[in-house]
Structure 1
């Protein structure tokens, strides 16, 4: 399985009120700050978030510890995605 790097901006980026969206070959995620929290959600496929079902969501404290925990959660969510993809469970969602 290929090693994938899921980028998460530094804490200053989120403290400034910015959202972040990332993707890699059908695995998508969005992170945004709200009321002292970092909220995150993931979805699968090649459609935008508005046209997709959320596959997982989580919240973390808006601090460096929370950001680190978020990175770990994203890696786990990506690994679950890769397993489903390899098992052929996502063919419908990954069809262009």
Structure 2
């Protein structure tokens, strides 16, 4: 499902909208929340490989939201990582509180 080309199309439109908002509101804190984790992080590592979304990874690298919250891989609940300045968190079923 994550290899479906429609994910990239939607991602590009979303990226354009977010870039426009960032220019309008420079002080804006951006929290990006998805079901799937980005590719090649501690949050998508499972059984010796990475199962995350490459489109999400590119999006984060390009726009650097302040925080990304994702799930999907229950084995990685509670794990944290970073892509550039973006903090990545899988809060798991317990949930988490965040300070921005």
Fold match (TM-score > 0.5):
no
TM-score class normalised by the smaller sequence: under 0.3
TM value normalised by structure 1:
0.26
Q: Which has the higher strand share?
A: 1
TM value normalised by structure 2:
0.25
